[in-house]
Structure 1
């Protein structure tokens, strides 16, 4: 990579669909060519050698992929090994980070090379198309209309200021998107007026992206179903393995500590938790009492690799601030409940000593 290349690829989604129709190697080559754009121009300096080096194909395969893209009219050779990428003019772009090709430190296989192993160009197409919908500042990832998981709410414990709420899910996912939506349409088999549309390919590819770790899930707690990210808490439950960001893991751990403090020795509440766990996943959260009536829990699906744009940097700054605020709030509640429990236990010991 040279200083002329971008930190992310600006991929025209309409041209991207045509590239994917040419097969996996042509699609991978198209991503690399867009990553090699020189500044804001359509000129790219990437060729067969660079493509073969970074996405796990031979030079002969890379040359064939370039020839297929040129024959389709997606790329033009101009001079001295340079090529020009032909945009559709629609102005709809997916902003894909360079890390999907180069990888990041600690991950041995870059995403593009990993997806090539699936030999499914439509899986690669979905992965890139999701970047066009990805909205970190707005909802913290993909909009809930893309992938939606229902969480039911159960109040386990009430105090004047804070309640402990259990949210339960059986991991039943659905997509509110119309089958005619550009994101989902290539992966749905339409059945016509008398039948039922087949979403199997859509769900299989979403599952594959989850299995590769390229699509992660976090939780988002909002005061209402239509709240934007700026008024919501995003966190990673302490009992989940791994985490997406340290900030969200910190909030999740602090929330768990409050739950443990508030439900200490509350055997009835823990019995209720065990009963709920028999029906699916249970996430316990301490909530300010005024939030409970309208509070909703949402699963946010988020692409793990993110372009280093100003919007992404602003989101990380906001997330860090949010984590500080809620971690401190949860810590204060934990201390308050710890002090009150200690005082109650001391009174019990004194009463026992008088008997």
Structure 2
């Protein structure tokens, strides 16, 4: 698979500034004969002050600003459409430099906010309950394109009069983050770096459909991230029907990887389970899930299925079935919650993101 960042640089004759780590900025400054602290200044302008025009970086020399403008690209996502839900959720459709489009979501929880960002253009996994999967796969996003979603949402929030930026980020948008692990991990290092955005590790969550090698990489990752796993079925037959990735990474392999992650990090794992009428909402499946995850002490996040127009035959479980499933989990003394629906009226809830796919 081609490296999109390098391809963009080749076509446009410059380097992607948003994808540079702090260490790479220091290397560039040293190579240009500039003092190392210039890297601190540039990263502060971009990641803290949200200033992306080199000519506005007033503590840099004029000659440096001109050199940056001529050789360091700033390919920020362009906002195509913003929608606001009745519950305050905002959904953004972004266009990248090559015309590819992704969606991201900003969730307002009252005292804090969470950015839900995309890691791929489309998605290759084809989960039956997810709108993104119907788009097919376009390409991986670069670290700069991933961070760009967060930075642009944060700038819009601050420009709108908010007193503080975004508190949390979740990699739960379009795409499977652990199939773009290199770029996602680099983006996380940049978000977490004290000279860049300085977002605490406890405020960063990766959600995966069960990419076992990526989970094992997370177990050894230097930034102790939170892990969320889309399960949606506790046996291989049903899970393969709902999530084709189960053919490659069976539940036994997935649970083994989760045990490694749990043992090495000590972090509690969140299990995502969307309740779909007549498919995976039988209370007996709650008992199967308890047996499957025995010893992991997970936190179960029950998600009312969010309907998608591409699959009208799929329906949300009725309240009586949800209560019966919850009663089984309570009997088993498994900690859970039923997630509060947010953004469904603008197709911004879990599984509903399907921004127009344009990739040249």
Which TM-score tier does this pair reach, normalised by the shorter chain? under 0.3
TM-score (norm. length: structure 1): 0.27
Give the greater-gyration-radius structure (CA): 1
TM-score (norm. length: structure 2): 0.27
